[in-house]
Amino acid sequence: MTAAKAPPADAPPPVPSAPAVPPVRTAPARRRLTPYWLLLPGVLWLLVFFALPMVYQASTSVQTGSLEEGYTVTWHFAVYGDALAEYWPHFVRSVLYAGTATALCLLLGYPLAYLIAFRAGRWRALLLVLVIAPFFTSFLIRTLAWKTILADGGPLVEILRTVGLLEVTALLGMTEGDRVLATPLAVVTGLTYNFLPFMILPLYTSLERIDPRLHEAAGDLYARPFTAFRQVTLPLSMPGVVSGTLLTFIPASGDYVNAELLGSTDTKMVGNVIQSQFLRVLDYPTAAALSFLLMAIVLIMVTVYIRRAGTEDLL
């Protein structure tokens, strides 16, 4: 086919003749290998220092022996039963404290995330900075500060006592007497505090994506403000809720810093046991078994949760 009617091209500008380069053929085989070369170093790193250690840990857990004589794999599975029998309260505490802290994070974090996303106006950037700001001080220093804040007879504890809140928490088994420090409440307070930004940021991200007009549309369609929130805003923020709870619960369940610094011997979590078994008692098989069990429990809970929440595309 030939096109008709070329326009009069009076005085076209000099077209630079491109250098005569021989046709280059792209090597498809080489191109197919490119992603593997890009992946190789990082993936290798993760395989050797993340996946392989898991294998070593699994094998360590079924070894017997002693530090002096060395350990050998004897498929001593009884270690799991023994570990569970001895340390089940620690597992319960870990799940309970981490769960409570996660719930509190959601309860406390949602209003702040909502405030930043919809009501902050020109203060939005400043508020976001203030949420992230605590990170800049080492979390250990900040956790130690709670020792001061929750000190016996301190202003906060006195207020809680006067209002009668301490009696309520005592009934729940969270506190004892007039103390807050060295009680489960102190540990949960610390955990909640430590992981709160991990809840707020994903919540904010998913709230911020919601078109505020949706809320107005709901109002236009006869929904009262709270109904509009429950029917429109909350469902749309579910991805943030899911990733926020995961980002809070997972690290909280393995934490031992808060229990160590703010708790007592009666508030030790499974992380504390793993830490002391590995670094002080040097009972490696038990420690490895505990760690493996913790991993299994967390993975199972997370998987069930993600299935329930129906958000499998978190990444």
Partner 1 sequence: MTDSTESGDLRLTGISKTYGGSFTAVHPLDLTVPHGAFFALLGASGCGKTTTLRMIAGLEDPTTGSVLLGDRDVTRLPPYKRPVNTVFQSYALFPHLSVYENVAFGLRRRGAARVRERVGDMLDLVQLGDLAARRPHQLSGGQQQRVAVARALINHPRVLLLDEPLGALDLKLRRQMQLELKRIQTEVGITFVHVTHDQEEAMSLADTVAVMNGGRVEQLGAPAELYENPRTTFVANFLGTSNLIGADVVSAGGGEVVVTASGVRLRLPAGRCATAPGADGRLLVGIRPEKMSLVHRDEADSVPAGRNRFTGTIAAAGFIGVSTQYLIDSPLGPGVEVYVQNIERDPRLTPGAEVVVHWNPEHSFGLDAAQDINSGVETAGDPS
Partner 2 sequence: MAPIAWLRRHTVVVAGLLTLAYLLLPNLVVLVFSFNAPAGKFNYSWREFSTAAWRDPCGVPDLCGSLALSLQIAFWATAGATVLGVMIAFALVRYRFRGRGAVNSLIFLPMAMPEVVMAASLLTLFLNLGAELGFPTVLIAHTMFCLSFVVVAVKARVLSMDPRLEEAARDLYAGPVQTFLRVTLPIAAPGIAAGALLAFSLSFDDFIITNFTSGTAVTFPMFVWGSAQRGTPVQINVIGTAMFVLAVLTVVLGQLVAGRRRNHTPS
Quick count: other Cβ atoms within 10 Å of Cβ 253?
A: 25
140 part of the interface to partner 2, by CB under 8 A? yes
- Contact between 39 and partner 2 per CB under 8 A: yes
The H or E element that residue 66 is part of is: strand 63-66
Residue with tokens 């909350």: 234
CA distance 260 to 256: 6
Q: Does residue number 38 form part of the binding site for partner 2 (CB under 8 A)?
A: yes
Note whether 199 and 106 are within 8 A (CB): yes
Tell me how far apart the alpha carbons of residues 248 and 241 are, in angstroms, rounded to a whole number: 10
**Of the candidates 83, 95, 174, 250, which one interacts with partner 2 according to CB under 8 A?**
250
Token pair 């900040």: residue: 142
Taking CB within 5 to 8 Å according to partner kind, which of partner 2, partner 1, none is near residue 232?
none
SS3 state at 17: coil
| Cβ atoms 305, 246 nearer than 8 A | yes
Give whichever of 19 and 121 is closer to partner 1, judged by the CB atom.
19
In 79-107, which positions are buried (b, 16+ CB within 10 angstroms) versus exposed (e)? bbeebeeebeebbebbbebbbbbbebbbe
H-type helices in 17-77, by residue range? 28-46, 52-61
Whole-number minimum distance, CB 229 to partner 2, in Å? 10
- Please work out the total of residues on this chain that contact partner 1, with binding judged by CB under 8 A: 23
Among positions 139, 169, 239, 264, the unique one binding partner 2 when judged by CB under 8 A: 139
Residue 170 binds which entry of partner 2, partner 1, none, with Cβ cut-offs from 5 to 8 Å by kind? none
Q: Could you say which residues in the range 43-82 bind partner 2, by CB under 8 A?
A: 43, 45-47, 49-54, 56-57, 60
Nearer to partner 1, 24 or 279 (CB): 24
Please report, for residues 6, 10, 20, 21, the alpha-carbon distance to residue 16 in angstroms, rounded to integers and kept in the order given.
Answer: 21, 17, 12, 14
CA atoms within 13 A on the CB side of 232: 21
Q: How far apart are CA 273 and CA 255, in angstroms?
A: 11
Contacts of 185 (CB under 8 A, 6+ apart): 169, 174, 175
Q: Which of 62, 127, 185, 232 binds partner 2 (CB under 8 A)?
A: 127
Which position among 8, 35, 121, 155 is part of the footprint of partner 2 (CB under 8 A)? 35
Residue 7 interacting entry, from partner 2, partner 1, none, C-beta within 5 to 8 Å by type: partner 1
> In this complex, which beta carbon is closest to partner 2, that of residue 9 or of residue 310?
310
Give me the 77-116 binding string for partner 2, x by CB under 8 A, dash otherwise.
-------------------------------xx-xxxxxx
Shortest Cβ distance from residue 6 to partner 2 (Å)?
25
Check the CA dihedral 31-32-36-39 and report its sign.
Answer: positive
Residue keyed to tokens 């997370």: 302
CB of 170 to partner 1, least distance (A): 59
Which does residue 24 touch among partner 2, partner 1, none (CB within 5 to 8 A, set by kind)? partner 1
Residue 258 CB, nearest distance to partner 2 (Å)?
11
Residue 5 in contact with partner 1, rule: CB under 8 A: yes
Among the listed residues 73, 77, 135, 177, the single contact to partner 2 using CB under 8 A: 135
Give me the 19-38 binding string for partner 1, x by CB under 8 A, dash otherwise: --x-xxxx------------
Q: Applying CB under 8 A, which residues contact partner 1?
A: 1-18, 21, 23-26
